[in-house]
Amino acid sequence: MARGGSSGLSRIETSWDVSPATLDLLQGPASIVNLMGQAEWARDLAKQLLAKPLPRRWAHTQGVAACAETLAPILGEESDLLTSSAWLHDIGYSPELVDTGFHPLDGARYLRDVHQADDNLTRLVAHHSCAVYEATERGLLNALNEEFDQESPELVEALTYCDMTTSPDGLPLEVLDRLAEIHSRYGPEHLVSRSIANATPCITSAVRAVQAVLRQE
Ligand SMILES: [Fe+2]
């Protein structure tokens, strides 16, 4: 899996017991990323893009990633992918990479074009939290669907569950309270509020589906 580009990881930060000489034999930062695991790379990249310019968005992101980690028992091997997507789902808000202003598409394009990120990861970011509804409002539905296929429903629902049950400050929140919070934050006339209204059945059914699986655990 290609996860090229800079991870922002220094030798001092790595917890791996690897000597400097061994590191010199590796093929640059991408190899270190491969040793780290995708979620750690994703966390460092999200922190780099969000923590300073958008501290509240960074707090939310940390809460979404914490939620994703709690789903490991029901996701098994796909847990690392979900947690990675949770770290990266909102990087499209970063001033460094805003392009269209539609954050799922901007974030996914950045991951694909700058970091040659894993296709599964870019698809999750592109379609997170029923993004097709806001894409429709923005006239970007064709671009979104042509560039990024849908990921498996289980992972899409899991990411939506985590995003839509985490407050802007990173705290757990009931999905209906989260939806109401978005409406009040943007105001009734805003494109995002219209999109969220149309996406509400998609979002709530994803959240309920994950909650149903969790209850069986
Ligand atoms: Fe989010």
Single pTM value for the model:
0.83
What is the structure's pLDDT at 36? 61
Distance 189 CA to ligand 1 centre (A): 21
Residue 78 clears pLDDT 70, i.e. is over it: yes
pLDDT at position 28 over 80: no
* pLDDT tens, position by position, 127-159: 999 999 999 999 999 999 999 999 999 999 999
32 CA to centre of ligand 1 in angstroms: 28
Measure 204 CA to ligand 1 centroid, in angstroms. 15
Quick one: tokens of 127?
């379609």
Angstrom distance (rounded) from CA 119 to CA 68: 19
Q: Which two tokens stand for residue 6?
A: 């800079």
CB atoms within 10 A of CB 132: 19
DSSP 28-70: SHHHHHHHH-HHHHHHHHHHHHHTTT-HHHHHHHHHHHHHHHH
Tell me: the pLDDT tens digits for 160-208? 999 999 999 999 999 999 999 999 999 988 999 999 999 999 999 999 9
